[in-house]
Each structure stands twice: as C-alpha cells, then as structure tokens.
Amino acid sequence: MKAQASFLARVPDGQGIFPFIKVQVRKGQPVPVPGASSYYLRYRENGARKMVALGNDLQTAFLGYANRQLGIQQKELGLPVPATRERRTVVSAQAQFIEEAERLGKVQKTIKSYEKAINTLKLSCKKTHLDEIDKADIINHVSWLRNHLGKHRINGSLQGERNSTVANQLRYLRAFFLRFEIKLPLPERDWPKVTRKNPDRYSEEEINQLLAATNEDGKDLIAFLFYTGFRDEEAAHACYKDINWKRGTINVHDKPEWAFRIKDHEQRPIDIPLPDKFIQRMKARRERYPKNELIFTNEEGRPEKHLLDRIKEIAASAKLESNATLHKFRRTFGTLYAQRFGVRQAQAALGHSKLETTARYLAADDMSGTETRSAVNQLFAGVGD
C-alpha cells in the first residue's frame, strides 16, 4: 500500500465542534472548503498517525501538503530525500497550539490570552518561522508592548503596571515556544521586574457605596460576586441550577453547552453556604427573568462576558476612589472567609489546590481605621514628643 498524506480543512459547525473535512484537489489546485478556519496535513510515520497544522491560508497550506506528497513519492522511488528539519511558521504553530488548547478543554479566557500574546508578537516581529525569532526580537517586542499598552494606573506607578502586563505576555509566549521544543530566547532573569503588590479588598463601606449607586440588577451582580467568591468566568456561566435552594449553597459546574470547563477540572471540595438574604435576592431575580437559565446573560441570552464593564460603571456612579475589579470581590470573600472559618476553609471555598496560593491571595487587614489609630496611640503613649 502506498503511503498517503491527507489534506484536511477544519470547519467549525457553530456548536463548539470542529470536524475535519478532506480538501479536494482538481487539476492540481485545491478546492476551497466553505467555512474552513484552518488546514492540516495528516500522515503516518513509523506506524504512528501525525497531524501538522498548515495555517489558515489555503494556498500556503496546499504548498505544505504538496511538498509532503513529493517527499513520499521520492521515498517510494528510492530517491534520496533531503534531510531537512521540519520548520513551523508562526501562523501554523499558532493554529496548532490554539487547537490543542481547545481540545484539551482549556478555559476560554486562557485561550484568548494565548491568542492575544501571539498576535501581538506577530505585530512587532515580521519573521515567518518560529525558530527565526531571536533574543533581539523579543527585546524589541517588550519595547513594542510598552509603547502600545493601554495607559492606566492601578495602585502604583504606570511603569510598574506595564511591567506586570509585559511579564504576563512573556509567560504566555514561553508556553507557546516550549510546545514546539523551542526556548523563549529571552530568559526570565532578563524580563522586566515586577513589584508584587499587597492584595487589596473592598471595605464594608465600599460595598455599601456600590450597592447604593445601582439598580436591582447591579445589586444582584455585586451580591453574587461578594457572597460566592466566584472567578469571573464562573460568574458569567453561573446558572440557577448551581444553587441548592433547599440547603442554601452553591457550587461551580461544567457548562458544556457554553464550552465552559471548571478551572483545573475540579469543583469546590465544599458547597459554599449562602446568606438567606442572598438566596431571596436570587429567587427574586429568577422571577424577574423566568426564561433565563443563566443568572447573568447578555441581550442574546448568552453568558455575559462584560461583567467587569458593568462593575466599572457602577463604581463610577458611586464615585469609588479605589480601583474596582471583579477579582477584588474574590479577594474580599476569601479574606472574610479566612478570618471567620480559617485559611483551610477559605482554600476550599476559593477552589485553590495549594494552601500557599490562598495565603498569598488574602488581603491584609486595613490598618488605617479609627480603632487602629487609637491602638497605636496607646502603644506609644509612654514615649515623649
């Protein structure tokens, strides 16, 4: 039997499934496949089936397929085949990397972060092949990122915030390069230095300030984030069926219909107990929107992916002085839980696999309050001016 390579197109069906369809070749030219998002070469080598991403351009992908077929014919005729190392273009490597992440069930937010990091690299570096990119290219990319990042300041210097964002981008790129057995040319010791900030949380006064500045829907969102400690993707995909109404608890569950998987594929080891007033609020919301299975939906009835924008709007109306984020609600929940039930219970409620993650995650108590000032004055009362 003659060895054959198959030229395949990957076509999304709109339901989160990406079947492979064979690309027909007529008169030496590939026939376009409607809706194809990427192309692949499938062949067998030493009895093992292999799949190589060829990118999303039909003609470029067909060239890769044709070259592979030529190599097969040379082998069959006993002709010497040049021993060339298989090189990957950045485009084809990205297609394969993202496809594998999707098939492995990575969280969509993580997949989008990988895509963003690779796409920004393609903007700053015009080299075609992944193995062409060197240290100078990554250094130039760091400079490009500094010049193109959005200008914002969060509890510190603008430069410090940029360093943190740049370092995150480099971490995503490092994983991308390592997938293809290539080390990121810029070692971590040469990355921009990031100052670790103390984790912050909302005060009780700030939570009430936010609640007073919004309508019932806004209060539902604030209460949900505050009382559950859910991650933003977990909140966006939360359904009423996640709530045990009889026991007054909630947990996070996979939502395959929305292509949502729990982080690390682990539910919380405990169901999170909810205050009675929050249960009543959720019941009232369900009565207002009886057709919704999701607790927070967009106008199309799909998971609301802009919860942060809503919180920012509420914070602006409330004239909140501190920075408002979704993750800050999670830190607030975790801190209060640890204070009341201990760090171990906080770890379980937050869904952390490591205790040190929880310990690092928790915000220190605010030491600027009136009671603290009074205690400090008493502590040093015996010392003169």
Give the separation between CA 65 and CA 52, rounded to whole angstroms. 10
Class of domain 94-190: mainly alpha
Closest CA to 238 of 293, 307, 306: 293
pLDDT band for position 74 (cuts 50, 70, 90): low
Q: What percent of the chain has pLDDT over 70?
A: 87
Average pLDDT, the chain: 85
Which tops the pLDDT comparison, 150 or 209? Answer: 209
Domain 6-86: which CATH number of 3.30.1050, 2.60.40, 2.60.120, 3.30.160: 3.30.160
For residue 33, the 8-state DSSP code is P
Q: What is the pLDDT of residue 152?
A: 47
Q: Which residue intervals of the chain bear CATH 3.30.160? A: 6-86
Q: Which residue intervals of the chain bear CATH 1.10.150? A: 94-190
Q: What is the pLDDT of residue 16?
A: 66
Q: What is the pLDDT of residue 150?
A: 62
Q: What is the pLDDT of residue 139?
A: 95
Listing DSSP states for 282-328 in one string gives HHHHHHHSTT-SBSSB-TTSSB---HHHHHHHHHHHHT-SS---HHH
Q: What is the pLDDT of residue 251?
A: 96
Largest CA distance in the chain: 99
User: Per-residue pLDDT averaged across 340-369, rounded?
Assistant: 81
Q: What is the pLDDT of residue 54?
A: 79
How many angstroms separate the first and last alpha carbons of the chain?
Answer: 97
For the ranges 160-174, 204-218, 346-360, the maximum mean pLDDT occurs at: 204-218
Q: Are 33 and 21 in contact (CB under 8 A)?
A: yes
Residues 285-329 have pLDDT tens digits of 999 999 999 999 999 999 998 999 999 999 999 999 888 999 999
Q: For residue 41, what are the β-bridge partners?
A: 7, 52
Closest CA to 263 of 243, 229, 233, 297: 233
Residue 362 reports pLDDT greater than 90? no
Q: Are 26 and 66 in contact (CB under 8 A)?
A: no
Q: What is the pLDDT of residue 161?
A: 55
Residues 4-42 have pLDDT tens digits of 678 898 888 776 677 888 999 887 788 898 888 888 888
Q: What is the pLDDT of residue 231?
A: 93
- Those residues with Cβ within 8 angstroms of residue 365's Cβ, 6 or more apart along the chain or in another chain: none
Q: Which fold has domain 204-361?
A: hpI Integrase; Chain A (1.10.443)
Q: What percent of the chain has pLDDT over 90?
A: 48
Backbone angles phi, psi at 14, to 5 degrees: 85, -5
Q: What is the pLDDT of residue 110?
A: 85
- Those residues with Cβ within 8 angstroms of residue 16's Cβ, 6 or more apart along the chain or in another chain: 259
